[in-house]
Amino acid sequence: MTHIRLIAALVMAPVAIAAILLLPTEWMMMLAAIVFLLGLWEWFDLADIDEPLARTVLLLAHLALMVALVWASRSTMGFSFALFELMTLIGVVWWLLALAWLGRYRFASDHTTHARVFKLFAGVLATIPAWCALGWLHASDPSASALPGIPKGHFWLLTALMVVWAADSGAYFVGRHFGKHKLSPRISPNKTIEGLVGGMVAGVAVGVLMSLAAGATVEQLPVVSLVALVATLFSVVGDLFESLLKRHAGVKDSGHLIPGHGGVLDRLDGVLAALPAFALGKALMGL
């Protein structure tokens, strides 16, 4: 399974990196919307929405919200990311509240309408703010980077994503070889405290290295480290929350689209939580 997981990552990573660096923001956001909506489709399954018509209507409603945010941000003066910034803040607040949900394992664990409403609302707060944060990061700095023709903002988005990817890989390999103390055995039995530490170290290290390509100065690296650390911790919350949903649904993976990785949502869980945290942290710290 490790070899399949690695091969799939080697195929997906170059495509994702090329899209992030080379596509203009509007095209990047369109591509990201497709990926996020695929993950949301799997979220509906975890929320016990079985009817195809109901899932399709809900998916179209989320797409309409994305379109409405873009439409409302256009003006004669140009494109404003104010609404995207507000949604990013809402996303950060949501993931802080999600910690309370993680501490109450049985909450919304049944299969009633009550539980569905909470989980569907959580899907909105997880997906839309992350998508907004992605667009905000990608367009955050249009000035030229070290690579000709590639804006610094594109590198900042890549930095945020690579922090999550590095943290996930670091936690996986450190936890597998050195993990002894369970992080949250009831929600995710395979996650360990040792894996968490390994993921934090890997996420911060990669974040610092990537930020140099994004235009960060040596003096800014301590701040970058802090932002990367916070984003890494948020990614763990996102990962655990999806694990909680899967436990409630009684499934191992959110889907089977990606060999060795499960579903799309299994690859997005940490990203959904980390992107708002990274984007807001970058803005607050003046990076």
Looking at the chain, the whole-number percentage of residues with pLDDT higher than 90 is 63
Instruction: Give pLDDT tens digits for 190-246.
Output: 889 999 999 999 999 999 999 998 889 999 999 999 999 999 999 999 999 999 998
Q: Which pLDDT value is given to residue 4?
A: 60
Mean pLDDT computed over every residue of the chain: 89
Q: Which pLDDT value is given to residue 255?
A: 63
Residue 1 — very low, low, confident or very high, per pLDDT cuts 50/70/90? very low
- End-to-end Cα, the chain, rounded Å: 39
CA angle 95, 63, 100 (to 5 degrees): 15
Burial environment of residue 137 by CB neighbours within 10 A (0 to 12, 13 to 18, 19 or more): buried
Residue 107 — very low, low, confident or very high, per pLDDT cuts 50/70/90? confident
- Residue 283, pLDDT > 90, answer yes
Classify strands 182-184 and 78-79 as parallel, antiparallel or unpaired. Answer: unpaired
Structural domains counted in the chain: 1
115-126 burial, b at 16+ Cβ within 10 Å, e below that, comes to bbeebbebbbbb
Instruction: Print the domain residue range for 116.
Output: 2-284
Instruction: Give pLDDT tens digits for 41-70.
Output: 999 989 888 888 999 999 999 999 999 999
Contact 175, 192 (CB under 8 A): yes
Cα distances (angstroms) measured from residue 162 to each of 15, 203, 208, 223, 254: 14, 8, 11, 17, 22
Q: Which pLDDT value is given to residue 263?
A: 80
Residue whose token pair is 């004669």: 76
**Range scoring the smallest mean pLDDT among 43-47, 132-136, 149-153, 250-254:** 250-254
